[in-house]
Amino acid sequence: MPVVAVAGGGGDLGRLITEALFETGKYEVYVMSRKAMQSDASRISPLTGEHYAPVIQTDYVSEDALVEQLTEKRVSVIVCAFIIDSDSASDSQLRLIRAADRCACVKRFIPSEYNVEYDVGDDVLPYPEKRFHLAARRELAQTSSLEYAFVYPGMFMDYFGMPHIKTNLRPLYFFIDPAKGQAVLPGDGEARMSMTLTTDFARYLALALELDVWPRVLTTATSTVSLNELVRLVEKSLGRKLEVRYQPVEKLLRHETVADLPTNLDIAKEFPERFPRGLDQLRALIADLEAGVALGAFDLATLSGHLDLVKAFEGRISEPTRIEELVEEAWKADFSQ
């Protein structure tokens, strides 16, 4: 039974991964965090039967300090759950990879790359921040001792149940704004999108640690539908039609937004700390992601040479949530009334 460290384990997605690992009862789990966290909430290690404080406080600045901390805790698996959207976050992950490679105890590493295949051209995924993920891939490829894998959930399904489902994700709307009765789809709306609920993603990632050997790519997608099908699911649950508009993918690629979802306009105003450059920053983020969906980057059914964790662990855990179930739960009562 290994010791697992979740870097960024106190964050939005990191907390879910940490909780899923704790729930297995198989691992001594540590949260690596820049922020001071309560360390008096000790846990009992399934390895030793003794109490331990499950927090490693670090600033990720010193590679030597990271080596010392990982070695002291006898960490054998690192799962990174940073939000990789800046040079600072990227550099922290790169130092963690180098430190892990220097530790005799660390054998496995999962980088923070939780969406889709990033090693593709802009004609498939026009996402500028993918350069940070590619840097991590190059660093991992140079390691001498680490087994590593990329885990792809596709789009996080939570976005299509907000605000009526419990989620750790911060609010943002893609393609559909059910409460406002609107949808804006790229192209003809026939692009297909694979999805996983965040809690299911975390459970499958935790199960992946049981595999003797990791294929390079692991997937967790529980649903794949076209955008037009997604609109129809929402309309069925709401009991009314949405106002659906379509916008050319070429305009999204140029960040020329044809139409905004109304709730995103509110989000840009209410959360200036998330979008310091305002509405233009939010629009660019959404345009890149939606263009990637339209160009096929989020259709995990087209992948080959990967391991589908949903099939591999079928029957091992409760049935994952499908998009039909989530939409029904979130919008059946028509909360917009």
Please indicate, yes or no, whether residues 42 and 118 belong to a single structural domain of this protein. Answer: yes
How many percent of the chain have pLDDT more than 90?
Answer: 91
Please indicate, yes or no, whether residues 140 and 176 belong to a single structural domain of this protein. Answer: no
Dig out the tokens for 140 from the structure: 């991992």
Please indicate, yes or no, whether residues 258 and 180 belong to a single structural domain of this protein. Answer: yes
In a domain, 266, yes or no: yes
Please indicate, yes or no, whether residues 98 and 238 belong to a single structural domain of this protein. Answer: no
Q: 297: domain CATH number?
A: 3.90.25.10
Please indicate, yes or no, whether residues 279 and 132 belong to a single structural domain of this protein. Answer: no
* Residue 220: CB atoms within 10 Å: 27
Please indicate, yes or no, whether residues 186 and 241 belong to a single structural domain of this protein. Answer: yes
Q: What does the pLDDT read at residue 37?
A: 67
* Residue 10: CB atoms within 10 Å: 16
Contact between 220 and 207 (Cβ < 8 Å): no
Please indicate, yes or no, whether residues 122 and 185 belong to a single structural domain of this protein. Answer: no
Give CA–CA dist 175/50, Å, rounded. 49
Give CA–CA dist 131/119, Å, rounded. 9
* Residue 77: CB atoms within 10 Å: 21
Q: Which domain holds residue 174?
A: 155-195+223-301+315-331
Please indicate, yes or no, whether residues 84 and 182 belong to a single structural domain of this protein. Answer: no
In a domain, 247, yes or no: yes
Distances (CA, A) of 175 to 52, 117, 308: 45, 21, 26
Last-in-domain residue among 133, 148, 163: 148
pLDDT higher than threshold 60 for residue 334: no
Question: From the centroid of its chain, how far is CA 243?
Answer: 29
Contact between 114 and 13 (Cβ < 8 Å): yes
Rounded to two decimals, what is the model's pTM? 0.94
pLDDT higher than threshold 90 for residue 158: yes
Question: From the centroid of its chain, how far is CA 133?
Answer: 13
Q: 88: domain CATH number?
A: 3.40.50.720
Contact between 136 and 175 (Cβ < 8 Å): no
pLDDT digits (tens, 9 = 90+) for 8-30: 999 999 999 999 999 999 999 99
Distances (CA, A) of 225 to 30, 192, 228: 37, 5, 8
What average pLDDT does range 164-169 have in this prediction? 95
Last-in-domain residue among 92, 125, 148: 148
Residues 6+ apart with CB under 8 A from 264: 172, 173, 177, 282, 286
Please indicate, yes or no, whether residues 87 and 169 belong to a single structural domain of this protein. Answer: no
pLDDT higher than threshold 80 for residue 153: yes
Q: What does the pLDDT read at residue 1?
A: 66
Give CA–CA dist 244/317, Å, rounded. 37
Please indicate, yes or no, whether residues 137 and 49 belong to a single structural domain of this protein. Answer: yes
Q: What does the pLDDT read at residue 36?
A: 72
pLDDT higher than threshold 50 for residue 320: yes
Q: What does the pLDDT read at residue 316?
A: 87
In a domain, 91, yes or no: yes
In a domain, 286, yes or no: yes
**What is the pLDDT confidence band of residue 256, given thresholds at 50, 70 and 90?**
confident
In a domain, 307, yes or no: no
In a domain, 18, yes or no: yes
Total domains, the chain:
2
Q: What does the pLDDT read at residue 336?
A: 46
**What is the pLDDT confidence band of residue 68, given thresholds at 50, 70 and 90?**
very high
Please indicate, yes or no, whether residues 181 and 71 belong to a single structural domain of this protein. Answer: no
**What is the pLDDT confidence band of residue 337, given thresholds at 50, 70 and 90?**
very low
Last-in-domain residue among 114, 148, 182: 148
Parallel, antiparallel, or unpaired: how do β-strands 192-196 and 223-226 relate?
A: antiparallel
Please indicate, yes or no, whether residues 40 and 132 belong to a single structural domain of this protein. Answer: yes
Parallel, antiparallel, or unpaired: how do β-strands 108-110 and 155-156 relate?
A: unpaired
Report the mean per-residue pLDDT for the chain.
Answer: 94
Contact between 232 and 328 (Cβ < 8 Å): no
Q: What does the pLDDT read at residue 38?
A: 61
Residues 6+ apart with CB under 8 A from 285: none
